[in-house]
Amino acid sequence: MTTRKTEILVGIFVLLTIAATLLLGLKVANQGMQANGDTYTLKAKFDNIGGLKERSAVKVGGVTVGRVESIELDSDDFTPVVVLSISTQYSTFPETTSVAILTSGLLGEQYVGLQPGFSFGDIENLKDGDFIEDTKSALVLEDLIGQFLFSRDSD
């Protein structure tokens, strides 16, 4: 009888451990089980997106304001178009805002960094579906190493 009771308690403990690990994994991945609320989309065209992935963070000064919703290829000039999903809480970015693909640390994950521009005079705010014109592509480490090696050989 005590063996059966012990087996049931161990089973409950194992199930609770699995549930706690799953919730911790979702929290660390910053995905959660619920939706992030109301959002609007912005688009940006880059020459090179490096290792940027869908669901990567969109940050302003280190604060996450949205996520990369999708990455598409423009059918006209075959350049990547990144669709950003921004929380409506942050809906006052001016049209002079610039966007860059940045890396966390030397070899960390890539994310999209927004740099709000000045909103003086009659500068309007970005609206749902607008393109951000001022973009800076990702720095690819392999390209930098290649440039360093080839510039060293020419000296």
Whether 74 and 49 map to the same domain: the answer is: yes
**Encoded tokens for 107:** 């070899």
Judgement on whether residues 112 and 129 belong to the same structural domain of the protein = yes
How many domains, in total, are found in the chain? 2
Has residue 92 been placed in a domain? yes
- Looking at the fold, whether 27 and 70 belong to one and the same domain comes out as no
| pLDDT tens digits along 16-42 | 999 999 888 877 765 543 445 788 999
Same domain, residue pair 66 and 86? yes
| 12 part of a folded domain | yes
48 and 30 both lie in a single domain:
no
10 is in which domain, residue-wise? 1-34
Best-predicted range by mean pLDDT (34-38, 96-100, 131-135): 96-100
Q: Residues 60, 134: one domain?
A: yes
Residues 94, 131 within the same domain = yes
pLDDT of residue 32: 44
**What one-character DSSP code corresponds to residue 96?**
T
Distances (CA, A) of 39 to 24, 70, 113: 25, 14, 17
Residue 149's pLDDT band, with cuts at 50, 70 and 90, is: confident
pLDDT in tens, 52-95: 889 888 999 888 899 999 999 988 888 999 999 999 888 888 88
User: Are 83 and 98 in the same domain?
Assistant: yes
Residue 114 forms part of a structural domain: yes
Give the length of the chain: 155
User: CA 101 to CA 111: how far, in whole Å?
Assistant: 6
52 and 84 in one domain? yes
